[in-house]
């Protein structure tokens, strides 16, 4: 892996994501001026005069590819423009809302790491035991439950019936717990299975048996010869899992009233907020490339075989 | 357990409905970014130390930005901003930032006396010059004020604001009560006239605004009026109705607005909240294109109206006691005419009217005339979740009289857009009939127009009555003095709409909310102008 090829990849992502989101926004049915005015003023105040003033203000008549070229020029200066709805800078909006999504995703990932891998390790060490079998059942159940349903079960049980945590909202630390738990349970279900399989495979190997023969304790064997093998699939999985996590975050945001990037993107698409959609897609696309890079680098660290 | 499962079932169903929208946005991933806030005013510590209880309000309205045009209605509801003229529960105009107003004999010059000693939240003083600047900014933006024949606005002295008109306009004070005419401090605006901050004069000042979902206010110590008992309040936007209901049910919200029928039923069992409802000047109506070959005949529009079972729609879908019997609900006094014959269902008569109009049922069960099939499209939108449900019922009820309806559930902007390009057949929506506390503003913009451009975006389409328009314009100029025959001209106008049916009223709306037991009692403002924070009392 070399840096120039990664940079080229990044550049291609920027161009393709920007171009694709621009073209997609242009090809949506309906008049953009009406949609933007609808997003700004709501149905009670929307009328032809409002749409006409939006049209005049944004120069929507002079469309064509020109706007895309302007956008590219702005990107070179690290400018994402301003939202057509709120008038706020797209950078500020994205920082704010992506920040909310990321902090939630981070909390979920943290909780899932505390639950999933330890259980998976214990199950893998005694493959076929009662823990292994019941873990399989619980994991399958959790994985098969849509996050929406899981969220409602948690809200109804923990907030409505027990009154322990707020049902929804944002701003206080306790607001993190329910949405993060919802995401974490699904994540933990898979990571537990993954770790369990990796651990079970390790215990079958000759080097594991040898480590035990030469007198290392269970813990020592795991620490020196097991951890690295288990960590490799886990890191790869968690990297990929970010995708699922953000998809989950979008659903979860809507249930828990979380002001994240999913909420922002849905609204931006509905109201033709082109700079906001392009900016968000761009930041997310670049994020993907960086996450993949990070996963590759970590994988290389964990398994240096084959590197010259 | 069974209860839990049945709850989950209906919530999952509503979820599946929305899932498609979410899928659009589930694109991708992330960069490490810190979490700033759009903090507007950080001087949180100044709040009264005596009472740290914070009132929690949950409603469906997103916060878009500081400008009055974007989210001004919310700032008004939170009592951060005020208008020159206010409205009481009965719809009577009351002094606001203006204590008094009078009009010259020719009706061309309005003189508003401003309240003295009014301070903005930034410490600056309100005077006539400030009010003039703000109204000038407001009148340059889209909004109802544009339709008022304002010639010039002058600050005569510190307390006197004069608005000169090119022709009389009796409803001017009501227009000044509209949220778009809220009085902000000049410092709130940037050079383009867009407000960047919310600096009002209300009993609460903005503590923190975090678009799109929350804002926090605290009592303003230098408010000109009495100090409110509730010192702190937070507003949270939650877009899903079942999400709002769960928050109310778990006791996390003191005021929860916009409850759907199913949640209302469930919350009525909850020991933590009390339900409240208030009639509001909002009517669900069916806009009909009177240029359509079938609907240009008033008898066909009457047949549509006769096909609709309003009571069933009200009771089954909306869980209201009854449907609309005319355009204006009883709370809009003057415009509602109790003497009008009620709109009702009579399927046999509807069929007879269509037969008489030449629309005959063909083999496929759909009516035809001169080779044209009576198949039309009906546009509605899902921002109000009850609309698609009612549209589905209408589809069945129109089918029963031989009209085929194709539902098109889309963005609400398709309705005014379809009005202007002429493509719209029918549209179902909920119209606020009193954006300005005096409905004349809405009636003029929705039902008057000109022969070339009859009706309005959210009202009549292709329907024009020259006498009616002239009479509305006269009422706007001169007010509502009785007609020569001694009748209320407003009731007469309602009668014209009822007979011609350019739109078909279906149901009158109620505001539904849940109030927590932490509060002693709460008034619901029927005009949807205020959450009534400053009037609230804690239970202990």
Residue B236 contacts A where some CB pair is shorter than 8 Å: yes
Please, what is the end-to-end C-alpha distance for chain A in angstroms? 12
Task: Spell out which residues of chain A touch residue B38, defining contact as CB-CB under 8 Å.
Answer: 88, 92, 96
Quick one: closest CA in B to A36, which residue?
B413
What tokens does B294 get?
């079938």
At B213, list the tokens: 């979902």
Helix (H) or strand (E) holding B232: strand B232-237
pLDDT at A283: 85
Mutate to test the interface with A, among B29, B209, B528 (most CBs of A within 10 A): B29
**Spatial separation of the C-alpha atoms in residues A255 and A243, rounded to whole Å:** 19
Q: Say whether residue A55 is in contact with chain B using an 8 A CB cutoff.
A: no
For residue A220, the model assigns a pLDDT of 84
pLDDT tens digits for B27-77? 332 223 333 333 333 333 344 445 788 999 999 998 999 999 999 999 999
Residue in the block written with tokens 């306790």: A174
Written as six digits, the tokens of B291 are 């240029």
Contact B69 A41 (CB under 8 A): yes
Average pLDDT over residues B206-226: 93
Q: Are B218 and B207 in contact (CB under 8 A)?
A: yes
pLDDT of residue B5: 56
> Which residues of chain A neighbour B27 with C-beta distances below 8 Å?
246, 265, 280-281, 284
The span from the CA of B433 to the CA of B177, in Å, is 15
Q: Which of residues 205-234 of A touch B (CB under 8 A)?
A: none
Output b/e per residue, A240-256; b: 16+ Cβ within 10 A: ebbbbbbbbbbbbbbbb
Kindly determine whether residue A86 and residue B210, on different chains, have CB atoms separated by under 8 Å.
no
- For residue B5, give both structure tokens: 């499962």
Residue B208 pLDDT > 70: yes
Q: Quick one: average pLDDT of B4-31?
A: 44
Instruction: Output the DSSP codes for A222-259.
Output: IIIIIHHHHHHHHHHHHHHHHHHHHHHHHHHHHHHT--
Distance separating alpha carbons of residues B511 and B528, to the nearest angstrom: 8
CA distance B193 to B294: 47
The pLDDT value given to residue B314: 94
The number of beta carbons lying within 10 Å of the beta carbon of residue A20 is: 13
Radius of gyration from C-alpha coordinates of chain A = 24
DSSP state of B386: H
Sign of the alpha-carbon dihedral angle for B349, B350, B353, B358:
negative
In which band, very low, low, confident or very high, does the pLDDT at B13 lie, cut at 50, 70 and 90? low
Residue A56 has a pLDDT of: 84
CB contact residues (below 8 A), chain B span 69-98, against chain A: 69-70
Q: Do A246 and B26 touch (CB under 8 A)?
A: yes
Sheet order of strands, B109-114 included: B98-103, B109-114, B160-165, B150-157
Decide if A269 and B24 are in contact by the 8 Å CB cutoff.
Answer: yes
ipTM of the complex: 0.82
- The backbone torsions φ and ψ at residue B362, rounded to the nearest 5 degrees and listed phi first, read -95, -175
Residue of B nearest to A163 (CA): B250
Structure tokens at B242: 């079942």
Query: Is the peptide bond preceding residue A121 cis, with omega within 30 degrees of 0?
Result: no
Q: State the pLDDT at residue B16.
A: 47
Q: Does B100 reach chain A within 8 Å, measured CB to CB?
A: no
Give the Cβ contact number of residue B383 at 10 Å: 16
Of A100, A255, A287, the CB nearest to B29: A287
In angstroms, the separation between the Cα of residue B334 and the nearest Cα of chain A is 23
Instruction: Round to the nearest angstrom and report the end-to-end CA distance of chain B.
Output: 35
For residues A285 and A48, the answer to whether their CB atoms sit within 8 Å is no
Rounded average pLDDT over B236-246: 86
Check A166 against B381: CB less than 8 A apart: no
Q: What is the DSSP letter of B341?
A: P
Q: How far apart are CA A183 and CA A104, in angstroms?
A: 9
Structure confidence by residue, pLDDT tens digits, B304-354: 999 999 999 999 999 888 999 999 999 998 999 999 999 999 999 999 999
Asked whether the beta carbons of residue B457 and residue A48 sit closer than 8 angstroms, the reply is yes
Instruction: State how far the Cα of A118 lies from the Cα of B333, in Å rounded to an integer.
Output: 69
- Is residue B382 less than 8 Å (CB to CB) from chain A? no
The Cα–Cα gap between B524 and B533 comes to 10
Chain B residues close to A88, C-beta within 8 Å: 38, 65, 211
The larger pLDDT score, comparing residue B166 to residue B243, is at: B166
CA B457 to chain A, closest CA, distance in angstroms equals 6
Mean pLDDT score of chain B: 88
Query: SS3 string of B136-186?
Result: HHHHCCCCHHHHCCEEEEEEEECCEEEEEECCCCCCHHHHHCCHHHCCCCH
Chain position carrying tokens 């340059």: B140
Q: In the A/B pair of chains, how many CB contacts fall below 8 A?
A: 222
pLDDT mean values, one per 10 residues, chain A (308 residues): 78 84 80 87 87 82 67 77 85 87 88 91 86 91 89 89 83 87 90 88 86 84 82 84 68 83 84 86 83 84 74
How is chain A classified by DSSP, letter by letter? --HHHHHHHHHHHHHHHHHHHHHHHHHSSS-HHHHHHHHHHHHHH--HHHHHHHHHHHTTTS-TTHHHHHHHHHHHTT---B-TTT--BHHHHHHHHHHHHHHHHHHHHHHHHHHHHHHHHHHHHTTTSHHHHHHHHHHHHHHHS-HHHHHHHHIIIIIIIS--S-SS-SSSTHHHHHHHHHHHHHHHHHHHHHHHHHHHHHHTSHHHHHHHHTT--HHHHIIIIIHHHHHHHHHHHHHHHHHHHHHHHHHHHHHHT---HHHHHHHHHHTT-HHHHHHHHHHHHHHHHHHHHHHHHHHHHH--TT--
Rounded to whole angstroms, how far apart are CA atoms A243 and A224? Answer: 32
Q: Which residues contact B417 (CB under 8 A, 6 or more apart)?
A: A30, A31, A34, A51
Cα–Cα distance measured from residue B257 to residue A6, given in angstroms and rounded to the nearest whole number: 51
Rounded Cα distance between B484 and B472, Å, is 16
A60 to chain B, minimum CA–CA distance in Å? Answer: 16
Question: Model confidence over B276-310: pLDDT tens digits?
Answer: 888 999 999 999 999 999 999 999 999 999 999 99
CB proximity A101 to B under 8 Å: yes
- Compute the average pLDDT of residues B122-137: 95
Closest CA to B474 of B466, B486, B462, B485: B466
pLDDT of B415 reads 95
Rounded Cα gap, residues A7 and B214, in angstroms: 39
Of A50, A169, A265, the CB nearest to B247: A169
Enter the pTM of the model. Answer: 0.84
Closest among B69, B206, B207 to B144, alpha carbons compared: B69
Q: What is the mean pLDDT of residues B471-484?
A: 90
B60 touches chain A (CB under 8 A): no
pLDDT of the residue at B524: 85
């Amino acid at each position: 892996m070399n840096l120039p090829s990664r940079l080229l990849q990044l550049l291609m992502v920027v161009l393709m994501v920007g171009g694709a989101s621009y073209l997609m926004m242009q090809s949506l049915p309906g008049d953009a001026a009406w949609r933007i005015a609808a997003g700004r003023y709501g149905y009670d105040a929307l009328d032809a005069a409002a749409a006409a003033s939006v049209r005049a203000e944004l120069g929507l008549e002079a469309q064509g590819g020109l706007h895309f070229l302007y956008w590219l020029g702005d990107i070179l200066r690290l400018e994402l423009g301003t939202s057509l709805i709120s008038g706020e800078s797209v950078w500020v909006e994205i920082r704010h809302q992506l920040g909310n999504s990321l902090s939630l995703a981070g909390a979920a990932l943290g909780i899932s790491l505390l639950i999933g891998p330890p259980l998976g390790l214990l199950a893998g060490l005694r493959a076929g035991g009662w823990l292994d079998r019941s873990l399989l059942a619980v994991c399958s159940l959790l994985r098969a439950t849509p996050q929406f349903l899981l969220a409602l079960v948690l809200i109804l049980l923990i907030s409505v019936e027990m009154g322990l945590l707020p049902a929804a909202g944002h701003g206080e630390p306790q607001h993190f717990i329910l949405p993060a738990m919802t995401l974490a349970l699904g994540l933990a279900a898979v990571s537990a299975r993954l770790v369990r399989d990796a651990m079970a495979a390790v215990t079958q190997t000759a080097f594991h048996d040898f480590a035990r023969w030469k007198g290392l304790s269970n813990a020592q064997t795991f620490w020196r010869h097991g951890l690295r093998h288990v960590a490799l699939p886990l890191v790869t999985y968690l990297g990929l899992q970010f995708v699922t996590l953000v998809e989950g975050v979008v659903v979860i945001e809507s249930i828990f009233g979380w002001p994240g990037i999913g909420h922002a993107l849905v609204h931006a698409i509905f109201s033709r907020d082109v700079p906001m959609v392009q900016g968000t897609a761009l930041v997310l696309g670049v994020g993907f490339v960086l996450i993949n890079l990070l996963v590759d680098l970590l994988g290389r660290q964990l398994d240096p075989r084959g590197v010259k | 357990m069974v209860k839990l499962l049945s709850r989950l079932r209906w919530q999952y169903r509503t979820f599946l409905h929305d899932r498609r929208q979410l899928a659009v946005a589930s694109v991708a991933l992330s960069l490490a970014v810190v979490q700033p806030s759009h903090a507007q005013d950080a001087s949180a510590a100044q709040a009264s130390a005596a009472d740290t209880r914070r009132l929690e309000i949950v409603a469906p309205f997103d916060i878009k930005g500081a400008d009055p045009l974007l989210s001004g209605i919310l700032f008004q509801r939170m009592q951060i901003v005020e208008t020159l003229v206010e409205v009481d529960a009965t719809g009577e105009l009351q002094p606001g930032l203006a204590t008094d107003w009078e009009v010259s004999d020719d009706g061309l010059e309005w003189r508003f006396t401003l309240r003295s000693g009014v301070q903005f939240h930034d410490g600056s003083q309100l005077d006539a010059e400030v009010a003039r600047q703000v109204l000038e900014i407001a009148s340059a933006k889209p909004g109802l004020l544009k339709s008022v024949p304002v010639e010039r606005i002058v600050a005569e002295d510190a307390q006197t604001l004069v608005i000169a008109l090119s022709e009389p306009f009796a409803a001017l004070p009501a227009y000044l009560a509209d949220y778009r005419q809220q009085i902000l401090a000049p410092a709130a605006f940037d050079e383009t006239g867009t407000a960047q901050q919310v600096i009002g004069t209300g009993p609460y000042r903005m503590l923190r605004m975090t678009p799109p979902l929350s804002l926090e206010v605290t009592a303003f110590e230098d408010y000109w009026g009495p100090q409110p008992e509730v010192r702190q309040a937070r507003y949270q936007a939650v877009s899903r109705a079942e999400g709002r209901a769960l928050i109310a049910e778990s006791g996390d919200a003191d005021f929860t607005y916009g409850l759907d029928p199913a949640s209302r039923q469930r919350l009525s069992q909850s020991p933590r909240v009390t339900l409240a409802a208030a009639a509001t000047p909002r009517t669900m109506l069916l806009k009909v294109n009177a240029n359509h070959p079938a609907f240009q005949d008033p008898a066909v529009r009457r047949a549509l109206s006769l096909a609709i079972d309003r009571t069933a729609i009200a009771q089954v879908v909306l869980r209201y006691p009854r449907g609309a019997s005319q355009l204006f609900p009883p709370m809009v006094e003057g415009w509602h005419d109790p003497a009008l014959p009620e709109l009702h269902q009579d399927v046999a008569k509807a069929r007879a009217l269509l037969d008489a109009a030449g629309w005959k049922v063909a083999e496929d069960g759909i009516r035809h005339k001169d080779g044209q099939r009576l198949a039309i499209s009906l546009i509605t939108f899902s921002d109000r979740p009850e609309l698609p449900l009612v549209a589905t019922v209408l589809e069945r009820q129109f089918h029963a009289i031989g009209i085929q309806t194709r539902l098109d559930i889309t963005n609400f902007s398709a309705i005014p857009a379809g009005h202007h390009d002429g493509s719209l057949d029918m549209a179902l929506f909920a119209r606020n009939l009193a954006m300005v506390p005096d409905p004349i503003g809405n009636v003029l913009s929705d039902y008057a127009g000109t022969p070339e451009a009859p009706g309005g975006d959210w009202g009549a389409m292709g329907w024009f009555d020259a006498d009616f328009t002239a009479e509305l314009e006269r009422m706007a100029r001169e007010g509502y003095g009785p007609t020569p025959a001694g009748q209320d001209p407003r009731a007469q106008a309602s009668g014209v709409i009822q007979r011609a049916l350019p739109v078909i009223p279906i149901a009158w709306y109620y505001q539904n909310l849940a109030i927590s037991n932490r509060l002693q009692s709460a008034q619901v403002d029927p005009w949807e102008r205020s959450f009534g924070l400053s009037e609230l009392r804690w239970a202990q």
